[in-house]
Amino acid sequence: MAATIAEKIFSMKCGRSVRAGDVVMAPLDAAMIHDITGPLAVRVFGEMGGERVFDPERIIMLFDHQVPADSIPAAENHVFMRQFAEEQGIHNYDLLEGVCHQVVMEKGRAAPGEIIVGTDSHTCTYGAAGAFATGIGSTDMGFVLKFGALYFRVPESILLEVDGVFDRRVGAKDLILSLAGDIGADGATYMTLEFTGKAMERMNMAGRMTCANMAIEMGAKAGIVRPDAATWEYVAARREIEPFDLAGDDDAVYRERRHYDVTDLAPQVAVPHNVDNVVDVADVAGTKVDQVFIGSCTNGRYEDLAEAGEVMGSADRFAKGVRVIVIPASRTEYLKALRAGLIERFVEAGALVEAPCCGPCMGGAFGLLAPGEVSLSTSNRNFRGRQGSAQASVYLSSPATAMASALYGEITDPREV
Amino acid sequence: MRVWKFGNDIDTDAIIPGRFLTIYDPAELAKHAFEGTRDEFARDVREGDVVVGGTNFGCGSSREHAPLALLGAGVRVVVARSFARIFYRNAVNTGLLPLVAAGADSIPDGAAVSVDIAGGFVEVDGRRLVVETVPGFLKEIVDAGGLVAYAKNLDEVKTCSTE
């Protein structure tokens, strides 16, 4: 029977055919917990009578939201989680490796056909590896730690067929922002976004992660990029795995099929205070910015930093009065950027390069905004108060647009730099 | 008991900002509920008050601090035209009752409100509004008083691959 990718994944796990709308208790391949939502999950696990976790090898623990600890309570959370990891025999990446979603991907902890949960809404990022991955709350995670399974309603899917070739300095972030604008902040609630088409096939894994990452910004439960040779190559470089075919069937039942062509897509900007409030960069060009943040699980990979570096060209100073914060998404990505000379160029021009973490996107650790300040950020949310004061404004863009704007001190079309 | 009315796309950063996420105690979280968005909420909210939203209530982060902050404030019920997925599930799991009501937009801020879960309606200023109760398998969790109480009595679960 014809099926979507999400239906195929749940059917594989259940060993029988399940369809959208079915409610199943699905076994899980992996569960990710971090320093903010993890402590609550661990407490709930105890309240549920949990003694030993279902399988320590399937649990991924790391700290990324408040690292190095920015307060005594944050430090206490780290200690609490370290103790739990030790007691349970869970491998803890601690604060050494970087932002959770980047780390899960680059360590090969996600693969096509897997079902993965994490106590972070952007867990959907692993859909770039062909996994069904979704964010859950801490109480659900307490249940997962105990039983290794969770109730799911198998979701309907929206098929997104993306074709065309991006203009120079336009890419994955512009695509996903435009999709958020088109579909809306709740246009895919409870559903899976299934990405396919020639533009997706041409997109590198970094870009696919950017797209899958922001599926949640349309309310989606998961965002899955149809696995192809590039997916298998990425995963097989990180763990032993035999490729298999995992594609939605042509005659599968989709809630909706949408076709997009990126050929004429302009750089996109999400304007305050909703992610689906998206315009062409020309509509907001000239808006003064106080802070530019290049990083996060959405856009903190080497490819993103290289894109910013390309736009920077031979410029050696950022605009006066602009704070530029660059945070590579992981230690691995940091080293790649360092060895390519990008970090040196950013620092020489006046950037603050921070150790891998969520940074200003966490809205609590550092890089906060004062009332009236404006930030342009390559992260995924521009909610009121997301990066500090509720009277501040956050705009979202690609790394290319962020760098162009850092050079001029105002929102700038990267194609005009 | 009064209504606290909010609009569409109320995100979890608005319900509880990121800088308070090292707090896990509901009563402490409640002191910062809607801080920066609606400062009088934490001060004036009373036990049994009802939060009413438009579409996509609770979008954004998976932080369970959001339903916990509302529970700590004495809110037991949230009524909205629609909910974001993770918040809905977190609410059910923690014992905050999310009720979908097509007519949520017509509920005015500050209105007197009472909730009749068994009857499937809320009464606002003497007017009855139909609400949808939680579906199927989630109802077992609600009836147990949340997922912790539900899971406490389970030694193992049958997964779809073993049943």
- pLDDT value for A125: 98
Of the candidates A84, A143, A99, A91, the residue with the CA atom closest to the CA atom of residue A117? A143
Asked if pLDDT for residue B104 goes beyond 90, the answer is yes
Task: Calculate how close chain A gets to B148, using CA atoms only, in Å.
Answer: 5
Looking at residues A138-150, what average pLDDT do you find? 97
Give A247-275 pLDDT, tens digit per residue: 999 999 999 999 999 999 999 999 999 99
Q: How far is A146 from A54, CA to CA, in rounded Å?
A: 5
The torsion of the CA quartet A125, A127, A131, A132, rounded to 10 degrees, works out to 90
Band of residue A290 on the pLDDT scale cut at 50, 70, 90? very high
* Residues contacting residue A45 through CB under 8 Å, at least 6 positions apart: A53, A141, A142, A145, A146
Q: Which SS3 state, helix, strand or coil, does residue A111 take?
A: coil
Task: Calculate how close chain B gets to A274, using CA atoms only, in Å.
Answer: 8
Looking at residues B149-160, what average pLDDT do you find? 90
CA diameter of chain A: 62
The DSSP call for residue B107 is P
**A360 vs B: CB within 8 A:** no
Burial class (CB in 10 A: 0-12, 13-18, 19+), A340: middle
Residue A176 CA, chain-centre distance (Å), reads 11
CA-based end-to-end distance of chain B: 46
- pLDDT value for A350: 97
Q: How far is A401 from A387, CA to CA, in rounded Å?
A: 19
Task: Calculate how close chain B gets to A11, using CA atoms only, in Å.
Answer: 9
CA diameter of chain B: 51
Mean pLDDT of chain A: 97
| More reliable by pLDDT, B117 or A54 | A54
Band of residue A219 on the pLDDT scale cut at 50, 70, 90? very high
Q: Edge-to-edge strands of the sheet including B3-5?
A: B3-5, B50-53, B77-80, B97-100
* Residues contacting residue A311 through CB under 8 Å, at least 6 positions apart: A169, A399, A400, A403, A404, A407, A414, A417
> Which residues lie across from A375 on neighbouring strands?
A291, A394
Q: Which of A37, A189, A383 sits opposite B62 (nearest CB)?
A: A37
Instruction: Report the sign of the C-alpha dihedral through residues A80, A82, A88, A93, in that order.
Output: positive
Whole-Å CA distances, B14 to A307, B18, B33: 32, 9, 8
Asked if pLDDT for residue B119 goes beyond 90, the answer is no
**A196 vs B: CB within 8 A:** no
Q: How far is A215 from A224, CA to CA, in rounded Å?
A: 9
Q: Count how many Cα atoms sit within 13 Å of the Cα of residue A321 in the half-sphere of its side chain.
A: 8
Using a CB-CB cut-off of 8 Å, the residues of chain B touching A139 are 64, 90, 93-94, 146-148
Using a CB-CB cut-off of 8 Å, the residues of chain A touching B19 are 363-364, 368
Residues A289 and A403: beta-carbon distance below 8 Å: no
Q: How far is B64 from A120, CA to CA, in rounded Å?
A: 10
Q: B113-133 burial string, b = 16+ CB within 10 Å, else e?
A: bebeeeeebbebeeeebebee
Q: How far is A135 from A33, CA to CA, in rounded Å?
A: 10
**DSSP assignment of A321-351, as one string?**
T-EEEEE-SBHHHHHHHHHTTHHHHHHHTT-
**A79 vs B: CB within 8 A:** no
Q: How far is B155 from B151, CA to CA, in rounded Å?
A: 8
Residue A266 CA, chain-centre distance (Å), reads 22
- pLDDT value for A1: 83
Mean pLDDT of chain B: 93
Of A155-159, A178-182, A362-366, where does mean pLDDT reach its minimum?
A: A362-366
- Quick one: what percent of chain A has pLDDT higher than 70? 100
Residues A116 and A131: beta-carbon distance below 8 Å: yes
The DSSP call for residue A410 is B
Whether B55 sits inside 8 A of A186 (CB atoms) is yes
**A381 vs B: CB within 8 A:** yes
**DSSP assignment of A25-92, as one string?**
EEE-SEEEE-TTTHHHHHHHHHHTT--S-S-GGGEEE---SS-S--SHHHHHHHHHHHHHHHHHT--B
Task: Calculate how close chain B gets to A93, using CA atoms only, in Å.
Answer: 20
- pLDDT value for A225: 98
Asked if pLDDT for residue A415 goes beyond 70, the answer is yes
Within 10 A of A198 (CB to CB), how many other CB atoms are there?
Answer: 14
Using a CB-CB cut-off of 8 Å, the residues of chain A touching B37 are 384-385, 390
Q: How far is B22 from B34, CA to CA, in rounded Å?
A: 16
- pLDDT value for B85: 95
**E strand or H helix at B29, and its extent?**
helix B26-30
Q: How far is A213 from B44, CA to CA, in rounded Å?
A: 38
Of the candidates B75, B79, B163, the residue with the CA atom closest to the CA atom of residue B122? B79
- Quick one: what percent of chain A has pLDDT higher than 90? 99
Task: Calculate how close chain B gets to A309, using CA atoms only, in Å.
Answer: 30
Task: Calculate how close chain B gets to A294, using CA atoms only, in Å.
Answer: 19
Q: Which of B36, B37, B64 sits opposite A138 (nearest CB)?
A: B64
Q: How far is A187 from B8, CA to CA, in rounded Å?
A: 13
Task: Calculate how close chain B gets to A338, using CA atoms only, in Å.
Answer: 30
Whether A23 sits inside 8 A of B137 (CB atoms) is yes
Whether B160 sits inside 8 A of A362 (CB atoms) is no
Residues A187 and A274: beta-carbon distance below 8 Å: no
Q: Which of B56, B61, B158 sits opposite A185 (nearest CB)?
A: B56
Looking at residues A125-153, what average pLDDT do you find? 97
Q: pTM for the complete prediction?
A: 0.96
Looking at residues A129-137, what average pLDDT do you find? 98
Using a CB-CB cut-off of 8 Å, the residues of chain A touching B24 are 39-40, 43
**A349 vs B: CB within 8 A:** no
**A28 vs B: CB within 8 A:** no
The tokens describing A52, both together, are 């030993």
Hey, what long-range contacts does A401-405 have (CB within 8 A, 24 or more apart)?
A: A401/A267, A401/A269, A401/A281, A401/A376, A402/A292, A402/A293, A402/A294, A402/A308, A402/A376, A402/A377, A402/A378, A403/A292, A403/A294, A403/A307, A403/A308, A403/A309, A403/A311, A403/A312, A404/A311, A405/A289, A405/A292, A405/A376
Band of residue B163 on the pLDDT scale cut at 50, 70, 90? low
Given the cut 0.90, state whether the ipTM is greater than it.
yes
Residues B97 and B61: beta-carbon distance below 8 Å: no
Of A53-62, B57-66, B105-114, B138-147, where does mean pLDDT reach its minimum?
A: B138-147
Q: Nearest 5°: phi and psi at B17?
A: -65, 155
Asked if pLDDT for residue B136 goes beyond 80, the answer is no
Whether A142 sits inside 8 A of B11 (CB atoms) is no
Band of residue A163 on the pLDDT scale cut at 50, 70, 90? very high
Tracing tokens 């059910």 back to the chain, one arrives at B92
Asked if pLDDT for residue A407 goes beyond 70, the answer is yes
Chain A nearest-CA residue for B159: A25
Q: Count how many Cα atoms sit within 13 Å of the Cα of residue A412 in the half-sphere of its side chain.
A: 23
Of the candidates A158, A215, A162, A153, the residue with the CA atom closest to the CA atom of residue A185? A215
Substitution target in B61, B138, B150, B154 with the highest count of A β-carbons within 10 Å is B61
Chain B nearest-CA residue for A358: B18
Residue A381 CA, chain-centre distance (Å), reads 11
Whether B9 sits inside 8 A of A48 (CB atoms) is no
